[in-house]
Amino acid sequence: MPILELPEIKEYDLPEFRALTIKERLEIYARLTRSQRELIDAHRKYLIKSEFLKDSYLKASDWEFQDLKIDLNYPEKESNQTLLYCECGRRLKYQYIVKSKETGKVMGLGSQHFKDHLKIPQQVATEIVNRLNNVDLALDELLWLKRYGFEFPEELWEVYAFNLYQIQQANTEYEINFSLAHRLVDFKKANMPLYVTDFKAVQQEIEKMSQIGREEDKDSLTEEGFTRFKKSLPTNLKKETLFNQALIWSSQIQKRIETHSEVPVLPKRFFEELFLILKEENEVSRKRHLSYFSNKGMGKWIQKEVYDHLLEKVEEYGLNSSFLDEIHPFMRVGLSPFVETLESSKKLNDEKVKNSVKKITNLLSEFDKEIQREIVKNLSAFIE
C-alpha cells in the first residue's frame, strides 16, 4: 500500500522569552488544568533532585533530597493549607525536604539555610541555590509557552510514532532515547507544550529513524496497523524491553552477550511450545502455563515483561495479524509462521462452512416452505 499520509510539523519556538516574576508564575500556573499542574510539580521535583545529585559534595554527604512542598498562597497569611516553615522558624514558599542517610532524620529547609543546617560550605550552598533558581527558569519556559497558547505538538507525535512503527515492523535495531520518550509521553498525557530543546531533540530522533527505514519494508505498513500501534505506544514506551533487541534477554544472557561474540538463538520448538500455550482458550490455564514456561529451560532466557505483554495482546486481539503487529519484533519473527498457519486454517474452515451453507440453501430451495421449516426445525434439534 502507499506510504501513510503524515502531517507537516509546525514551527515551534519561544516568542520573546524572559524570566517570569513570581506573580506571573502563579497566575499562569493557576490557569493550568489539574493534570498540567501535577506534571509541572512532578517535573520540578525531578529537576531539583537531579541538581542535588549533580553536586559531588552534597552527594557524598549524609543528606539527600526527598521532596519539595510549595505554599501557593505565600506570602498571604490566610491559607486553607498548612503553612510551611524552615527549621529556623521562618515561613517559606518552597520547603525542601531532606533526609539523613545515617539517622533517617527528616528536615524541612528554605534554600537560604542549607549551609546552617546541612553543615556544607557556603560556596556549595550558594551553588545549590543558583541551580534551584535555574530550575524555576526552566519551568518558566513551559509556562511562557502556555501563556502564548501553545499545546502539546500532536503533529510531532504523529510523525515520531510513525517512524517507530516503521522500525518495529522492519525489526530494525535502533537505540531509542527513552528519557526523552518518557517525557514526550508524560507531556502528551497532560497536553503540555514541550521544551523547545525537547521538541528539537524529537525532530532529530525522527530524522535518524527515517534514515534507517528501508523502502522495501513499507509494504507491511497499514493505516489500521499504525492506528493500533499509536494507541498503545504511550503505555508500551514505559516498557523499554519491547523496543530493544538486547533487553529482551534475561540479565544473565545480557551479561554473556557483553563478553561473547555469538548472538543467542532460540530454536523453532521454543516458539512452537509458546504458541500452543498462547492458543489455549482458557485464560486462567493460559496464564498459569505461560508462567511455568517462563521459569524453566530456555523460557528463562526471556524477560518476564515480554511474556506479560504477549498475554495482554493475545487477550486483546486473539492470535492473528493484529496480535503480530503489536508484539516485540523478535517474538513476531518467531511466532509468525504458527499464527499465519492458524489464520489460513481458519479461513479455509470458514470457506468450507460457507460452501456447505450454500449447498444446503440450494437443496432447501427445491422444497416448499412448509417442508423447509420442518427440515430446519429437525436440523436445529439435532445440532442442539
Q: What is the pLDDT of residues 251-271, one digit of tens each?
A: 888 888 888 888 888 999 999
Counting beta carbons within 10 angstroms of the beta carbon of residue 122, is it exposed (0 to 12), middle (13 to 18) or buried (19 or more)? exposed
Rounded to the nearest 5°, which phi and psi values hold at 66? Answer: -115, -45
Residue 47: predicted pLDDT? 87
Residue 383: predicted pLDDT? 62
336 close to 324: Cβ distance less than 8 angstroms: yes
Residue 358: predicted pLDDT? 67
Spatial CA neighbour of 274 closest among 346, 232, 328, 221: 328
Residue 2: predicted pLDDT? 43
146 close to 32: Cβ distance less than 8 angstroms: yes
Residue 342: predicted pLDDT? 85
| Regions of the chain where pLDDT drops below 50 | 1-2
CA distance to 113, 127, 279, 306, 347, per residue, from 320 (Å): 62, 58, 11, 18, 12
Residue 371: predicted pLDDT? 73
